[in-house]
Amino acid sequence: MVWLTWRQHRVQLLVAAAFVVVVGVLLFVHASRTGTLVAPSEPDSVRRRNLLDSQFGQVGRFLLFSAALPALIGLFWGTPLLAREYERGTHLLAWTQSVPRQAWLGVKLAGLGAAVTAAGLVFGFAIYAWAGEFAPTRSAGRLANQELFVSTGIVPAAWWLFAFAVGVAAGAVFRKLLTAMAVTLGVFFAVYIGVFNTDARLHYATPVHVEETAPADRGEPLLINTRSGVEDRLPGGALMAATGWLDRGGVPLSNAETWSCASTSDYLACMRDKGYRWFAEYHPADRYWRFQLTEAGALLVAALALGAVAWRRS
């Protein structure tokens, strides 16, 4: 069975292995070049930060495309596993040998699932280590930067495994390769984009809540409702959940109340006089691993459920 799994899926296995190795080497080279370019002995300066930021951006702009990787895993590892067998009738051949169907499916799911997870872990930790080189810059915050959060640590492996399971289950249910591929793409991106668009990650834990009266000094610290302004006032690398104003009773202001001082010359003084307090909710950077475990755990449960669907339908 192990031989058959390797023989049928060796192209996917080799391509994925080559990909993570190449990514790992490129990131290593890039990180060491950045290390020599931006001397670590150099004090934390604007020049140093800008240099790191631009170095980060060279690779960081590609992070967006890391979403395509689990999609490709789902399409080329997941869907063919059952759909191609059904489409060509080879399941009738495979399941009438001396190896029972359960063993056939079990070895394939476990073997390929483990391979996907391993490849995802190598990928995730390569980016994790690389991003560590840029630690002082805001964009390199592994928790605050959501693209980095899904590309580092154990979360990529969880998404890869989840997409694989979506593909296998779609193949088991629809039994046509093309249909299963279309469904896999649709389901995967619906979930993946859904997690981003609903800000689901902000709810993985109760955020830290801070409050202060509006600062007395006008122009100090900033424009309150812009995230970048606020983030400077919070611990480095924090993930913002919410900011805004509270009235005396601690109830968030309505829109009308928030804008009630807009026409005055000193917005902050006006808000302070009314007794309003500014608040922020955020997740500190050290929650990174907790959030990683939460997301990976949820995806693992989903992957197992999809695996059970494939098991029952085949």
Write the CA distances from 144 to 78, 91, 137, 234, integer angstroms.
31, 47, 11, 12
- Closer to another protein by CB, 101 or 274: give it: 101
Rg of the Cα atoms in the chain: 25
Of 49, 11, 201, nearest in space to 138 by CA: 49
89 is an interface residue for another protein by CB under 8 A: yes
50, 90, 198, 254: which one contacts another protein (CB under 8 A)?
Answer: 90
By beta-carbon proximity to another protein, the closer residue of 90 and 198 is: 90
- 95 or 279: CB nearest another protein: 95
Residue 81 or 148: the one with the smaller Cβ distance to another protein is 81
Question: For residue 188, with 0-12 CB atoms within 10 Å meaning exposed, 13-18 middle and 19 or more buried, which class applies?
Answer: buried
Q: How many residues bind another protein (CB under 8 A)?
A: 17
DSSP letter (8 states) at residue 78: I
> Is 202 one of the binding residues for another protein (CB under 8 A)?
no
Closest separation in Å from C-beta 84 to another protein: 10
Enumerate the β-bridge partners of residue 277: 213, 246
Q: Is residue 248 within the footprint of another protein (CB under 8 A)? A: no
Is residue 79 near another protein by the rule CB under 8 A? no
CB nearer to another protein: give 1 or 173.
1
Region of 12-20, 33-41, 98-106, 114-122 interacting with another protein (CB under 8 A): 98-106
CB of 95 to another protein, least distance (A): 6
* CB neighbour class for 233 (10 Å; exposed up to 12, middle 13-18, buried from 19): middle
8 binds another protein (CB under 8 A): yes
Burial of 203 (0-12, 13-18, 19+ CB in 10 A): exposed
- Rounded to the nearest whole angstrom, what is the least distance from the CB of residue 163 to another protein in the complex? 24
Contact segment (CB under 8 A) with another protein among 39-47, 94-102, 135-143, 305-313 equals 94-102
**Which of 73-81, 88-96, 128-136, 171-179 is the region at the interface with another protein (rule: CB under 8 A)?**
88-96
Handedness of CA 136, 137, 141, 144 (dihedral sign): positive
Q: How far is the CB of 94 from another protein (least distance, A)?
A: 8
CA-closest candidate to residue 120, choices 71, 158, 76, 157: 157
97 binds another protein (CB under 8 A): yes
What one-letter code names the amino acid at 36?
A: T
Residue 112 phi, psi dihedral angles, 5° rounding: -70, -35
Among 96, 197, 263, 265, binds another protein (CB under 8 A): 96
- Determine, following the binding rule CB under 8 A, whether residue 14 of this chain makes contact with another protein: no
User: Given the rule CB under 8 A, which of 62-70, 86-94, 192-200, 222-230 is the region that contacts another protein?
Assistant: 86-94
312 lies in the binding site for another protein (CB under 8 A): no
CA-CA distance, 287 to 132, in Å (whole number)?
16
Q: Does 95 participate in binding another protein (rule CB under 8 A)?
A: yes
The one among 33, 88, 203, 218 contacting another protein by CB under 8 A:
88
CA distance 1 to 254: 64
Q: Does 173 bind another protein (CB under 8 A)?
A: no
Q: Phi and psi (nearest 5°) for 282?
A: -155, 160
Contact 281, 49 (CB under 8 A): no
Report the interface residues with another protein, using CB under 8 A.
1, 3-4, 7-8, 88-90, 92-100
